[in-house]
Amino acid sequence: MGVAAFYRWLTKKYPKVQTYVVEEKPQTVNGVEVPVDATRPNPNNVEFDNLYLDMNGIVHPCCHPQFREAPKTEEAMMVEVFKCLDRVFNMIRPRKIVYMALDGVAPRAKMNQQRSRRFRAAQEAEEKETAQAQLAEEIFEATGERQPAPEKPWDSNCITPGTPFMELLAKSLRYYVVTKLNEDPAWRNVKVVLSDSNVPGEGEHKIMDYIRRQRMMPAHDANTRHVLYGLDADLIMLSLATHEPHFKILREDVAWADMLSKPCRRCGGKGHFERNCRGRGSKTPDVDPNDQPFVFANIDVLREYLDYELRPQNTKLPFPFDLERAIDDWVFLCFFVGNDFLPHLPSLEIREGALEKLVNFWKEQLPKNGGFITHDGDVDMFRVQPIMDSIAAIEEETFRTRKAEEDKRERQRRTREGAGAPHNHHHAALERKAEEEAAVAAANARREREREQAAAVAEQSKQKNSAAADAIRARLAASRGAQQPAQPPADDAMGEDDEDEVMVEGNAHAAAAADDTAGTGSAKRPHEDDDAGDEHKLVKLNGGDRAPAAADLTESNGDDASESAADASENVSTVDDSESAAATTATTATVDEAVPDERFRDTIKFHEAGYKERYYLQKFQFPSTDREAVQQIAEHYVRGLCWVLKYYYQGCASWSWYYPYHYAPLASDLVDLDMMDTALELSAPLRPYEQLMGVLPARSRHNLPAPFGPLMTEKESPIIDFYPRDFPLDLDGKKFLWQAVILLPFIDAKRLLNEVQKVYPQLSAEETARNQPGAELLMVSAAHPLYPSLLALYESPEADESTVLTLNPKLSDRMSGTVSRDPGYHRESAGYPSPLHAVGKMDVAEDLSISVVFHQPSPLDAVHTAVLLQGLAMPPRVLTKDDLEFVRSGGHSGHRGPPRSHRYENNRDFRDFYRQQGNDVSQDRGRGPRRYDEQGNANQKYFDHYNGRQQQQHHHQHRGSYGRNDGGYGRNDGGYGRNNGGGGGGGGHNRHHYDRDANPMQILRGAPQVQAAGAPPAQRPAGYHPFGGRSSRPSGSSSSHHHGRDYRQSGPGGSGGSSNQHHRRDYNQRSGGSGGNRR
């Protein structure tokens, strides 16, 4: 999952990192669907070699989708997975390798996060069921009718290694690959590596281990073009860590899903965009979820940005600058603002510019340190110390600034709730109305209201009673519908962020993606502890009042709410794929769900003196004066930083290490770093059932063999304390429940393993097989050059089960490794059996493919070095001087690149207009596209730009040239600006420099080219308006409307001038005649 909101932050700061994928869709001819021919050249004008699939990012959305009904059976889920695989393959069209990686057993450090999410999801699902049962009882009391028992929701926690579901998934994926290798021409020359959930390791880290090992082999092609599909935000850092410039990350466009989940401004409904809306009262067809676009995160472009950002501009280094080492340092700095294994430091928030601060301090210390802070996965803590000292020096100031910003937003919120700005009032009213209607449609009625309505029904007449009962039934049905696993987001995206971490109703992609959830429904929201005197102000998951609905939140929290929602939705998609689904379910609460203001209390008060004492006393239960205890926390944290970096660059250094606290130390307590013990204990991964016992709540025990159940439920169980039903949530100064810290007890591994091992003798042979470590498989078609040599493993008289064959790089497209017989491959059998007969998937009649066990190469030099390989041809640079100026100025000047966010023209907050940062606004700052490129070739974008094509797609802002006043009749030939002076009393007019045919415009239509100062205004066509519309204003003034604003130009007769005002920037104007000019 990585850093919350990281991907959104990244694409905002470095906009050209993201580009849209060109995708060919299947065509329908005479009612017959014609599939995409993936043997043809890639429509993205680049041929890719290797496609890596972080499969949990595919499995979760297919099993509990966000915008369509979830599959009814697990077999139907497999079919959806196949469809998604087809789409991604046809989009990328890899020519050498498809690597499919399912999450296996994770390191202990990650299991703590998985455990928290699964327990949270299970608790919410249980509360949801309790609420439904109470509502059904109220209906019975009111009407005498018994409601049918609701179907038990599908438990997405089964997407965890060792469960029967994962066994079915592995068999189904193998069946899918066999089918493709035998039937699809595009797969003929592709090698497929399948790493299922019995192979230890997180999916994305198994992929990175493969890439690192191949890079260290002499046969590796330095110009291999990689594409990695996945939703986690940390894939950005992992991709940079490979030092492979030809690398792209493929992911769904999170903005599309985010916009689609918002209510249409026209009718208040969801599931469609405003441009397709048929109006209130008519049924607008929902958008096809398969239309969700994909985007590339281009690692080569990010490397360009980082080269500019990290390279000292005005400082001479006492050593050569090495971009590869600098990138590694940047990845390390990212860990301080969030990762899956450590909580971030309280003073570092990515939305507050924490990463920018860290980079600036790093650049300041670089010449003094005499070198970089990391090297091939190792950290020099002596060089890290000055950076931490700089962060500690501004810690108090950071907390005070954060409080000041919060107070500012609160004042702005109160202003909006009051009279508000006149120009904003109508839009805000429409927005609130749409949100309220959407909230009603989502059936987010509070339980108290339901009880009151049920009681009122009982007192009314039979006829009214029946009608009310119908209404309650509808509410119950809506409640059941909401229970469908909402798809996560990542974070960021959620994500982010967001990933991509959150649990959101209808956007469960966040939490679900965050991790495998235990029930599917949107559970009841967690509630705060009723004890107002509790210093920790923990939210208890065992009852209480509901938090305000999304509509209430948006209105009361304004920007804060929408920004947090955006973080949540990113995290939804950027969430750890393996836990993606979990988030989904767990996110039955809306992303924007906040704790009521009267219950939200910041008891730490970082902005006030004494915050350190309060922090350690409340979070760790000992005073900050206990320096030995504080130092121990800091040492665990620093050891964790070293573990994470090693995990990203060399693989898992310790499967048993984990950070044993819920909170991070303060930056000011990270002292004497070079004196700390950062050694890690070598260990082996757990087995699948051991991980299941460590991360699953008792509610999900059906995913384990029956003999394990009593350990999770019986009061006499020696480890019953590992499975609490109620547990607190600490808001930790936040307002949104998805940001809360889940306070679960940490697992004592020795106690757990001691009890689990006692159960093993009671397992059946089939159950025992699911608990065994597996191996990666290599599969190819009969047409592949490798096929004859692999076949010899089975047919050669000299070969047996112990025979190991080294791959020939000439036959394997330079892939290195060794192979041996696959026990699951049966050469004597002509066909391949289908595990999905129930959904119409038939056996493969004649299987001509072959599979072998694949063993990763073990290079003599086992350390992966941070260098570019010999023979590499670097990708062409794409950033212009304007792009770099945009970065240097922090986004205040230079060229922004592609549209800032999504391109869907609707369902966005009206506030986007007033910030001039609308999500569908393409902004050109400084100048538009160049007429010719650096080689002197015509630039089609230039002509498209001035032919108005971009204006048709986006609201387009021209902020270029300066206005001009030629004396008499005012003229403004370009962007917006202010020009005062000039002769005649006529009003100035905004004009573009070029006409629709890209020809320079010489004169204003209908007006003379030159006019004497003081002369009467020139005549122009009646109703003429500079933006092409008609105007009823008198000739002495004109008005240009742009994005809801009114820009007026006027000038009195005689000595008047022209004025064209922009609310953001004023530009130099040139004036002539008798007028003056001012800036």
Three-state secondary structure readout of 527-592: EECCCCCCCCCEEECCCCCCCCCHHHHHHHHHHHHHHHHHHHHHHHHHCCCCEHHHHHHHCCCCCC
Average pLDDT, integer, range 175-195: 98
Token pair recorded at residue 504: 């959101």
Average pLDDT, integer, range 291-295: 90
* Residue of 416 and 757 predicted with greater confidence: 757
Q: How far apart are CA 188 and CA 39, in angstroms?
A: 10
Q: How far apart are CA 648 and CA 655, in angstroms?
A: 14
Average pLDDT, integer, range 10-17: 94
Token pair recorded at residue 263: 């209510």
Residue 273 has pLDDT above 90, yes or no: no
* Residue of 659 and 146 predicted with greater confidence: 659
Instruction: Check residue 778 and give its pLDDT.
Output: 98
Token pair recorded at residue 160: 């965890």
Q: Cβ-count burial of 888 within 10 angstroms (0-12 exposed, 13-18 middle, 19+ buried)? A: middle
Question: pLDDT for 814-861, tens place per residue?
Answer: 999 999 999 999 877 789 999 999 999 999 999 999 999 999 998 766
Instruction: Check residue 1 and give its pLDDT.
Output: 53
Instruction: Check residue 828 and give its pLDDT.
Output: 74
Q: Where are the beta strands (DSSP E) in 118-246?
A: 191-195, 226-229
Domain boundaries, the chain: 427-482, 960-1079
Token pair recorded at residue 851: 């599979």
Assess contact for 933 and 939: CB atoms under 8 A. Answer: yes
Question: pLDDT for 303-334, tens place per residue?
Answer: 999 999 999 988 889 999 999 999 999 999 99
Assess contact for 498 and 491: CB atoms under 8 A. Answer: yes
H or E element in which residue 806 lies: strand 805-806
Assess contact for 145 and 753: CB atoms under 8 A. Answer: no
Query: 608-616: long-range contacts at Cβ-Cβ below 8 A with a sequence spacing of 24 or more?
Result: 611/399, 612/666, 612/668, 615/346, 615/666
> What share of the chain has pLDDT > 70, as a percent?
64
Token pair recorded at residue 813: 């497209």
Average pLDDT, integer, range 465-491: 47
pLDDT band at 428 (very low <50, low <70, confident <90, very high): low
Question: pLDDT for 677-687, tens place per residue?
Answer: 999 998 999 99
Assess contact for 136 and 467: CB atoms under 8 A. Answer: no
pLDDT band at 1035 (very low <50, low <70, confident <90, very high): very low
Mean pLDDT (the chain, rounded): 76
Place of tokens 């965009």: 273
Instruction: Check residue 738 and give its pLDDT.
Output: 76
User: Strand 294-298 to strand 728-730: parallel, antiparallel, or no bridges (unpaired)?
Assistant: unpaired
Question: pLDDT for 200-212, tens place per residue?
Answer: 999 999 999 999 9
C-alpha dihedral, 328 to 329 to 332 to 333, nearest 10°: -140
Among the residue ranges 733-737, 773-777, 798-802, 973-977, the one predicted with the least confidence is 973-977
User: Strand 1070-1071 to strand 964-965: parallel, antiparallel, or no bridges (unpaired)?
Assistant: parallel
Alpha helices in 243-380 (DSSP H): 254-260, 299-310, 323-334, 354-369
pLDDT band at 194 (very low <50, low <70, confident <90, very high): very high
Instruction: Check residue 141 and give its pLDDT.
Output: 86
Q: Cβ-count burial of 589 within 10 angstroms (0-12 exposed, 13-18 middle, 19+ buried)? A: buried
Single-letter amino acid, residue 966: D
Instruction: Check residue 286 and give its pLDDT.
Output: 67
Name the 3-class secondary structure at 957: strand
Question: pLDDT for 231-247, tens place per residue?
Answer: 888 899 999 999 999 99
Give the best-scoring range by mean pLDDT among 141-150, 361-370, 990-999, 1041-1050. 361-370
Helices and strands, number each (H, E), in the chain: 30, 25
pLDDT band at 759 (very low <50, low <70, confident <90, very high): very high
* Residue of 40 and 1052 predicted with greater confidence: 40
Average pLDDT, integer, range 918-942: 45
Assess contact for 379 and 385: CB atoms under 8 A. Answer: no
Instruction: Check residue 125 and give its pLDDT.
Output: 86
Q: Cβ-count burial of 999 within 10 angstroms (0-12 exposed, 13-18 middle, 19+ buried)? A: exposed
366 φψ region: left (φ > 0), alpha (ψ -120 to 50), beta (else):
alpha
Instruction: Check residue 429 and give its pLDDT.
Output: 55
Average pLDDT, integer, range 418-433: 54
pLDDT band at 736 (very low <50, low <70, confident <90, very high): confident
Query: Of 1000, 118, 18, which Cα lies nearest the Cα of 586?
Result: 118
Instruction: Check residue 471 and give its pLDDT.
Output: 57
User: Strand 805-806 to strand 818-821: parallel, antiparallel, or no bridges (unpaired)?
Assistant: antiparallel
Question: pLDDT for 480-507, tens place per residue?
Answer: 444 433 333 333 333 334 434 333 333 3
Residue 85 has pLDDT above 70, yes or no: yes
User: In 917-947, which positions are buried (b, 16+ CB within 10 angstroms) versus exposed (e)?
Assistant: ebbbbbbbbeebbeeeeeeeeeeeebeebbe
Q: How far apart are CA 264 and CA 282, in angstroms?
A: 13
pLDDT band at 478 (very low <50, low <70, confident <90, very high): low
**Helix/strand/coil (H/E/C) assignment for every residue in 436-473:** HHHHHHCCCCCHHHHHHHHHHHHHCCHHHHHHHHHHHH
Instruction: Check residue 218 and give its pLDDT.
Output: 94
On the CB side of 933, how many CA atoms lie within 13 Å of its CA?
9
Nearby residues of 1045 by Cβ (< 8 Å), 6 or more positions away: 423, 1063
Give the best-scoring range by mean pLDDT among 540-549, 837-846, 940-949, 1040-1049. 837-846
Query: Of 1060, 1044, 1071, 1051, which Cα lies nearest the Cα of 989?
Result: 1060
CA 91 to chain centre: 20
